Homo-oligomer: A and B are copies of this chain.
Amino acid sequence: MASPIHQRLREDVLASVFAPDEPLTEAKLTERYGASRTPVREALQRLEQDGLVERRGKAVVVRTHSAEEIIDIYESRIILEQAAAAKAAVKATALDRQLLTGLLTQMQQLDPSDGRSLAETNRAFHAQLWRATHSPSLIGLLERLDQQVRRYTLTTLTYPGRWPVVLADYAELLAAIGDGDSARAGEVAARHMSDALDIRLKMYAEDPRTL
């Protein structure tokens, strides 16, 4: 499964191609993606279950989140990232650690102002950390949460002074994982995610439109 138009529509939604209150009518998407209504409906349905769009009355619109909802999602994610890091410290293979180290090295060489690359590799790092848990259920839950706020996350890493801290956090996290120190890995991950939430809130306070 995973039809191409499902992926394309998801990418477009995550890339904020559609306005938050723009109705995603089947006719429009049908034309946009050159498919008939059936696969379009299928894609919409999947995105609805993923929490990326929602039905408002009859129409389907991209789902937006209030500040409260974003905080809520972040709080859940803090819990899961902590658990994932702790589990990765126990379950990670040599290959997992090597891949993580490689990604960190890659991140250290990026241009800190290139928000797009930052976000991209950052996500890759997280995803690899999740995989290192070798826990399908944890991976699934984290992917789910991540998707729901991905539309908002592009800017977090470019917040003044943030990127070096992120790199330091990851280095410490990898050290803890290398030592098999589950508790410390969890703590670092939890703090890292807490900080991310704080920054998001600060950004929101400075400019509510960043949501």
Binding site for B on A (CB under 8 A): 1, 38, 41-42, 45-46, 48-51, 55, 69, 72-73, 75-76, 79-80, 83, 135-138, 140-141, 144-145, 148
A48 contacts across to B, CB distance below 8 A? 1
A46 to B1, CA, bound (A): 13
A69 to B55, CA, bound (A): 33
The answer to whether A79 and B76 touch across the interface, beta carbons within 8 angstroms, is no
Partner of A135, one of B50, B55, B76, B140: B76
A75 to B148, CA, bound (A): 23
Q: What DSSP secondary structure best describes chain A's contact surface? A: helix
How far apart are A46's CB and chain B's nearest CB, in angstroms? 6
Chain copies in complex: 2
How far apart are A135's CB and chain B's nearest CB, in angstroms? 5
The answer to whether B1 and A76 touch across the interface, beta carbons within 8 angstroms, is no
Closest-by-CB residue of B relative to A78 is B83
A50 contacts across to B, CB distance below 8 A? 49
What are the 6 A-B residue pairs with the smallest beta carbon separation, nearest first? A76-B137, A79-B83, A73-B137, A49-B49, A72-B137, A72-B135
A42 contacts across to B, CB distance below 8 A? 41-42, 45
Can you name 8 A-B residue pairings with CB atoms under 8 Å?
A45-B45, A45-B46, A75-B135, A76-B137, A76-B138, A79-B79, A141-B144, A144-B144
A55 contacts across to B, CB distance below 8 A? 1
A76 contacts across to B, CB distance below 8 A? 83, 135, 137-138, 141
How far apart are A138's CB and chain B's nearest CB, in angstroms? 5
A1 to B137, CA, bound (A): 26
How far apart are A171's CB and chain B's nearest CB, in angstroms? 25
* Known A45-B46, A69-B137; 9 more pairs at CB < 8 Å: A1-B48, A41-B42, A45-B45, A72-B135, A72-B138, A73-B137, A75-B137, A141-B144, A141-B145
